[in-house]
Structure 1
Amino acid sequence: MNDLFGPRPCASILFPLPLPEAFDYAVPEGMALQPGDHVLAPLGGRHVHGVVWALKEEADGERKLKPVEEVIGGPRLAEGTRRFVDWSAGYLVEPPGVILRQVLRSSSALKPSPVETVYRLGQTRPDRLTPAREAVIAAAGRKPMSAADLARAAGVSGSVVKGLADLGVLVVEEREVDPPFEAPDPYREGVELNEIQRQAAAILRRLVAAGGFQAALIDGVTGSGKTEVYFEAVAELLRREPQAQILVLLPEIALTQSVMDRFEARFGARPALWHSDIGQKERRRVWREVATGRARIVAGARSALFLPFTGLRAIIVDEEHDPTFKQDEGLTYHARDLAVARGKLEGALVVLASATPSLESLVNAEAGRYVHIRLPGRAGLAELPEIATLDLREFPPERGNWLSEPLVREMAEVFARGEQTLLYLNRRGFAPLVLCRACGHKMKSPDTERWLVEHRYTGRLVCHTTGFSMPKPRACPECGAEDSLTGVGPGVERVAEEARTRFPDAVVEVFSSDTAQGPDAVRDLVQRMERGEIDILVGTQIAAKGHNFPRLTLVGVVDADLGLAGGDLRAGERTYQMLVQAAGRAGRADRPGKAILQTHQPEHEALQALVAGDRAAFLDAERMMREHLRLPPYGRLAALVLSGPDPERLEETARGIAAAAPLAEGVEVFGPADAPLAVIRGRWRKRFLVQADRKVDVSAYMRAWMARVKIPAAIRASVDIEPYSFL
């Protein structure tokens, strides 16, 4: 609003809330603001943390604006981060505040690091040494510690520590609780590369030298040294720009320890680590160091993509094909796709790496949008494993068992040679279904149609969709028969039980997210496997990705058909990728490896291609199918999922939304239809699927559609661009 002194400045403030846009506020006289500043502003009767998104010379319209309350301080959100928030909101069809909420994950990080008082050993020595003082001096010689930690380490009271500090024996210092991360050294020597790896690294170095946005796909077989190749790009970038920030995205938390160790060996410093299992203190530290530009290399899960980088110059997506990069709950997005977009917005190099690249990335590489870097052979003396199918129709396991005799014989030979076996089955728990022998009742999760999975180690039945868990009952809840509930089908715990029965002298371990919870447990299990302390490892997909076990020479896939069934358009591709990854764990050192795939469908094209080592034939068939049906990457998809507590009200709402769908050339809308998982957590579900030509902007189409409808408060609507799950 204009006054006698001209237009008043105002600030558009975006809040980390599901609001449609940034709101305008008056800037009080004397308050200096810049885009990216963190502020408090009145909203709905309270003061809320928001970010200045833009500054204007005057407010829109004649309304009187509320003033900004105060500047919070802390590192500003950089322009690149703000642009990424806006772009992601448009692409994902979400309010920008929902994306901002992903960025502002640690509000306490806006304040400087807390400080603590620590004691270190000085040059002075006391005139009189008692055993207690000697213990403190010995403990203080290791590293600076707080008074309580030093007293605890020395086994003395705090008064002994204070007395030595008064005498000057201990020097008192103040230090940050959240210390900066050690800077990487890009001049350290890496491992010696072979000729093909050197050529690949040279390509990446040229892309770094060219600057700006570039995208490259490293397409290398398992064990070909993809990590060492992209390390060369990281080193080149840091030599040219010492303040550059690099993000490495990993599909599994279980892989972070191995990658952290390799980074430390190469650069003399460990990356900042970001994933859901780190504590609040470390989360605060990482967020602050990234936002101030001091964290040079960050390794993390998909959510690390939303960290507030100030100088992001490279994004590396390791195992770019992995479906876990797609988040299906809450904010739905694919980290690989958003990584490419953020790289373009930031003018950064994007490197995608995989032994089994997604068809989407391969098509982009073949079209020239990505630089295609191939690594066709394993590094050093290692050779690709021999792969064979084992037809379960010809060699069925004994009743109640899951391992066929030819596979067991191979395991026995491996065990006799002192080598290791990996049994791969992507099913957690002991049994995927629990039913009553007396009446046939199937145990299901409340308010959903999902079967409960039996976990023998904990004695519980668990729903892996909703998280519901209960002790396994002694009696059937339907007919009351006692001791009648039995597990049907195999999970990794059941396969491990069979392996222990067949090999009583072998050390058998289970590797799944249920049995190795948290980074420390994963690190311990992986290290014991690397040292050869485990003979037979039974694992889910967490065991099949990225690990390097030198003594592992046999991989047995218990059920190679798992994942081939159903209506998932990527079922064949996913199965092929996972089996390549699992088989690729064998023979990674100087010992030859072998993979045996138990299957009822040895004639399936994915399995045939795997055995023949003919990826091109499999991909050609996959391309033809996708192109014919206009499926990604030759078409576009979007999903709209509705859920509500009342099925009749949900049906009525879905019909109204269907009627409002815009008519557009090259777009078809299917639905509404009941979702395969019709009820989750007591909420009924309906799905729409939008299929469009490649040239259609499906995000714009979905935004136009959603603008036409008013969704009742009891109904939740979720838009999923390029869905991976169809449940």
Structure 2
Amino acid sequence: MAEDSGPIATVRVLLPLPLADAYDYAVPDGMDLPPGAYVEVPLGRLQRIGVVWGPGSGQVARSRLKQVAHRFDLPPLPEVARSFVDRVARYTVSPPGAVLRMSLSSTGALEPPKPVLAYRRAGMPPEGVKLSAARRRVLAVLEDGPPRLPAELAREAGCGGSVVKGMAEAGLLEVVLLPGFDPVPQPDLARPRANLGETQREVADTLIDTVAIDGYSTTLIDGVTGSGKTEVYFEAVAAALARGRQVLVLLPEIALSGHWLDRFAARFGVRPVEWHSELTPVQRRRNWRAVALGEARVVVGARSALFLPYAELGLIVVDEEHESAFKQEDGVVYQARDMAVLRGHLGGFPVILVSATPSLETLANVEAGRYAVQHLPDRHGVAQMPAVTAIDMRRESPARGRFLSPTLREAVAETLAKGEQAMLFLNRRGYAPLTLCRHCGHRMECPNCTAWLVEHRLAGRLECHHCGHRAALPKTCPSCQSESSFAACGPGVERIAEEVDATLPEARWTIVASDTFSGPQAIADLTADLDSGAVNLLIGTQILAKGHNFPGLTLVGVVDADLGLAGGDLRAAERTWQLLHQVGGRAGRAEKPGRVLLQSFMPDHPVMQTLVANDRDGFLASEAEARRSRGLPPYGKLVALIVSGPDRGAVDRVARELGQAAPQGDGIMVLGPAEAPLALLRGRHRRRLLFKADRRIAVQPLVTEWVARVQVPGIVRVQIDIDPYSFL
């Protein structure tokens, strides 16, 4: 206990660092520090931002206590948000400070923005001041308008900044200090809802009733591609806004948000506040602060938006809930969909999950009665689901060096000749996934990862898609010194574009991949090119597979439908089925019917058969049974331990000791340690252990005790992944 006598006010402050607990600090006289207050405190020789987590523990001697240096003028982080941090930390077996770091993702926003200098007209010009033509233009710009920023004023008046500055010095202009950030536009709830069909209206009304109950629930909107799911859940958004609550909509990738933002603006008259990696630092500060102050009523963002400091959160929508992009693999490892459900439960408000291909985890919760479900079985308006055909590549092999079968190539040519649009889908970036020497067989490898370097011919380089290492293709083989001996093996989207150039001269193609398209504006530009006819053939990766509406697109050709089925991933079949169903759903979303052609060397595989038969329920039932029989998620539990470090010997020692200290008991199995498939990643050696347990077993306490039995040196990291999605 504290050894000094006399009362002293203390608080525990949680810092956004990978620390297991909060630290005690003394409260200066006259400073009010309720739980949740944002503060600055000394830590060693540095000043750190933190959050008051509660009263002091009383375990630190008064003489050793340091004082809180400063409190920021912001509403405290709500109690439910602090509980969320603690619960996420416990579930993911992570330090609470590491989770808090995700909430304090823009510390610059804690201080109010500095006022911005602007100018307005000063009234009558002072006597003797000459009015040049440039000065008259400046005054004309300000005649009936609001104050203008200096650069904006000079640009609109067509003059230099010195003219504006001179006018202020001469008394022609008055200085006005504007708020640092523009006010956040507010959604207009008076705008009419979209033209919904009967089934859509029924589902929308059910969701509105759910919002009105003012309690926790999770509802799945299970609707085919093009069924109007977005417009339906917009009605729930409107209902939550009408009740004075904030709304969060999570999207798996920011590239999906272009069409979504346009549809939101059409429904509510303004764009929502965005949160994703494409924002500038100024935008991040503005948007974080707007959320904390309650000014941002609707936020759309990637998974990290879940941890913003919402003042009055009352609804979360997780769009494309099945997407693996909602799984955070670095730092704190979490599944945003599942944590969104936890956030709704803690806050006592509804959560809506949306998908045309729901995950088995979500469907298992529906089956168990934990989630409600609403169905949208038909496309909106006259649009119909596309017909799906598998092309047996064992019988219809392309010519040497080609990858499009005659049937697919002819279908594309026929589609383009009718003035319609087509898509060729291959979930592989670059030109070729492997480059090798024809003479000695040497393969170009990444020096930092157990991975081949991918050739990006358009950019003139080799690249690792895991660590980002880049290199020029050497003129001679590093192994045998042969010149000009390299061969590209296998296709990427660039190689498909090369084949299109050679065989489909009528195609006006563009490549759409994550390394060439970034952010909502890129997708908006693409849509404009499709509308104008500048582009009639898309060649792309999974960035095109979901969330986009291209009305003129009637044909989707999948170049390698088998690509996702290889490997030991327990979700490989489910992910492949979802991806192919989603990409096929881009076809025929307007009046003209669509079709999907799947090139496959395994056309009898259950994934291909159920896609052709449009038998989603049959596929999901067989996949669920296969998982249930093996005790795999969602019918069992898995935890991965990934041991990594720059020193192979230290990594092997820690992995071996973890294997020896593994928990034992009924319903528990530990596999490994073993080299990870990516045994070297970003210069770090990697070993994996897999902890498998019955559904009824609480795995987090067992894993915490397990890791604590082993002494881990500072150069080695043990990452804990509850319910892993990646097995690399």
Fold match by TM threshold 0.5: yes
Amino acid at match of 1:74: D
Partner of 1:133: 135
1:650–1:684 Cα contact (<8 Å) kept: yes
Distance 1:142 1:470, change over 3 A: farther
Q: Does structure 1 residue 145 correspond to structure 2 residue 148?
A: yes
The one-letter amino acid paired with 2:471 is M
Letter in 2 for 1:88: V
TM superposition shift of 1:500: 1.9
Alignment of 1:575-654 (within 5 A): 575-654=576-655
Q: Show the counterpart of 2:277.
A: 276
Q: Aligned partners of 2:657, 2:291: CA distance in 1, in Å?
A: 46
Q: Distance in 2 between the 1:702 and 1:271 partners?
A: 41
**Which digits, 9 at most, give the CA deviation of each residue in 1:176-222, with x for residues without a partner?**
23223111112211211000001100110111111121111000000
Matches within 5 A, 1:278-297: 278-297=279-298
Q: How does 1:505-516 map to 2 (within 5 A)?
A: 505-516=506-517
CA contact (8 A) 1:257 1:523 kept: yes
Deviates further, 189-198 or 20-29: 20-29
Matched, 1:157 2:188: no
8 A contact 1:460–1:472 mirrored in 2? yes
Give the direction of change, closer, same or farther, for the CA distance of 1:435–1:161 in structure 2 (3 Å limit). same
SS for the counterpart of 1:205 is helix
Following superposition of structure 1 onto structure 2, how do residues 63-102 of structure 1 map, counting pairs within 5 Å? Answer: 64-75=63-74, 76-102=76-102
How far the C-alpha of 1:169 sits from its partner, in A, is 6.8
Q: Is the 8 A contact 1:547 1:585 kept in 2?
A: yes
CA distance in 1, matches of 2:394, 2:25: 72
Aligned to 1:18: 18
Shift of 1:97: 0.6
Correspondences of 1:458-607 after superposition (within 5 Å):
458-607=459-608
Q: Do the aligned partners of residues 531 and 176 (structure 1) sit closer, same or farther apart at CA in structure 2, a change above 3 Å counting?
A: farther
Deviation (angstroms), 1:377 = 0.2
Q: Paired residue for 1:721?
A: 722
CA distance in 2, matches of 1:559, 1:181: 46
Q: In structure 2, what is the equivalent of residue 267 of structure 1?
A: 268
Whole-angstrom distance in 1 between the partners of 2:407 and 2:20: 61
Matched, 1:222 2:225: yes
Preserved CA contact (<8 Å) 1:218 1:226: yes
Q: Is the 8 A contact 1:2 1:8 kept in 2?
A: no
Q: Distance in 2 between matches of 1:330 and 1:515?
A: 27
Within 5 Å, give how 1:66-465 maps onto structure 2.
66-75=65-74, 76-120=76-120, 130-137=132-139, 139-140=141-142, 144-162=147-165, 172-241=175-244, 244-465=245-466
SS at match of 1:505: coil
SS in structure 1 at match of 2:688: strand
Q: Distance in 2 between matches of 1:518 and 1:383?
A: 30
Structure 1: segments with no counterpart, 5+ residues: none
Deviation at 1:330, TM superposition (A): 2.5
Distance 1:477-1:214 versus aligned 2 partners, 3 A rule: same
Question: Residues 679-698 of structure 1 correspond to what in structure 2 (within 5 A)?
Answer: 679-698=680-699
Determine the C-alpha separation between the residues in 2 that align with 1:144 and 1:596: 58
What is the alpha-carbon distance in structure 1 between the residues aligned to residue 84 and residue 531 of structure 2?
A: 40
CA contact (8 A) 2:119 2:173 kept: yes
- Distance across 2 between alignment mates of 1:263 and 1:512: 25
Amino acid at match of 2:70: V
Shift of 1:647: 2.3
1:563 alignment partner, SS class? helix
Deviation at 1:130, TM superposition (A): 4.5
TM-score by length of 1: 0.96
For 1:645 and 1:166, locate their aligned partners in 2 and report how far apart those are by CA, in whole Å: 62
Distance in 1 (alpha carbons) for counterparts of 2:2 and 2:492 = 71
Aligned to 1:7: 7
In structure 2, how many angstroms separate the alpha carbons of the residues matched to 1:705 and 1:229?
Answer: 47
Counterpart CA distance in 1 for 2:726 and 2:122 is: 61
| 2:3–2:61 contact (8 Å) kept in structure 1 | no
Q: How far does residue 64 in structure 1 lie from its aligned partner after superposition?
A: 4.0
Give yes or no for contact 1:25–1:65 (8 Å, CA) kept in 2: no
> Retained in 1: the 8 A contact 2:4–2:63?
no
Q: Distance in 2 between matches of 1:63 and 1:240?
A: 47
Note the alpha carbon deviations across 1:336-388, whole angstroms, 9 max, x for none: 11111111111121110000000100111122111101000000111111111
- Count matched residues: 724
Please state how far the C-alpha of 1:518 moved relative to its aligned partner.
4.2
Shift of 1:48: 2.0
Structure 2 unmatched ranges of 5 or more: none
Name 1:667's counterpart in structure 2.
Answer: 668
CA distance in 1, matches of 2:207, 2:685: 49
Query: Does structure 1 retain, via aligned residues, the 8 Å contact 2:426–2:558?
Result: yes
Q: Distance in 1 between matches of 2:218 and 2:691?
A: 29
Q: Is the 8 A contact 1:42 1:66 kept in 2?
A: no
Relative distance call for 1:267 and 1:484 in structure 2 (3 A) is same
**Matches of 1:392 and 1:357 in 2, distance apart?**
29
What is the CA distance between 1:138 and its match in structure 2? 5.5
User: Which residue is 1:35 aligned to?
Assistant: 35
Cα deviation per residue 1:308-359 (whole Å; 9 max; x = unaligned)?
1111111111000011111212221111111111111111211100000001
Structure 2-normalised TM-score? 0.96
Q: State the Cα distance separating 1:707 from its structure 2 match.
A: 2.4
Where 1:7 maps in the other structure, the secondary structure is: coil
User: What is the RMSD of the two structures over their aligned residues, measured on CA atoms?
Assistant: 2.1
Task: Answer yes or no: is the 8 Å Cα contact 1:290–1:310 preserved in 2.
Answer: yes
Assess if the C-alpha contact under 8 Å between 2:240 and 2:246 holds in 1. no
1-structure distance, mates of 2:121, 2:638: 64
- Please state how far the C-alpha of 1:5 moved relative to its aligned partner: 7.7
Q: Deviations over 1:491-541 (max 9, x none)?
A: 011111111222223211000011123443333223323444311100100
> What is the identity percentage for the equivalent residue pairs of Structure 1 and Structure 2?
51
> For residue 202 of structure 2, what is the amino acid of its counterpart?
Q
Q: Which amino acid aligns with 1:416?
A: A
1:125 and 1:571 map into 2 onto residues whose CA distance is 75
Quote the offset at 1:691 in angstroms.
0.8
Q: Answer yes or no: is the 8 Å Cα contact 2:41–2:70 preserved in 1.
A: no
Q: Which amino acid counterpart does residue 194 of structure 2 have in structure 1?
A: V
CA contact (8 A) 2:3 2:62 kept: no
Q: Tell me if the contact between 2:109 and 2:285 (Cα under 8 Å) persists in the aligned partners.
A: yes
Contact kept in structure 1, 2:42 and 2:69, CA below 8 Å: no
Write the distance in 2 (CA, Å) between the matches of 1:411 and 1:121: 62
In the TM superposition, what is the alpha-carbon distance from 1:159 to its structure 2 partner?
4.2
User: Alpha-carbon deviation of 1:30?
Assistant: 2.7
SS at match of 1:273: strand
Contact 2:4–2:61 (8 Å) recurs in 1 = no
Code of the residue aligned with 1:521 in structure 2: it is A
Distance in 1 (CA, whole Å) between partners of 2:587 and 2:140 is 47
Give the structure 2 partner of residue 52 of structure 1.
52
- The worse-fitting range, judged by mean Cα deviation, of 130-139 and 367-376 is 130-139
Q: Does the CA contact (< 8 Å) of 1:39 and 1:68 recur in 2?
A: no
CA contact (8 A) 2:24 2:60 kept: no
Instruction: Report the residue type matching 1:225 in the other structure.
Output: G
CA distance, structure 2, for counterparts of residue 494 and residue 549 of structure 1: 24
The one-letter amino acid of 1:113's match is: P
- C-alpha contact (below 8 Å) 2:116/2:178 kept by paired residues: yes
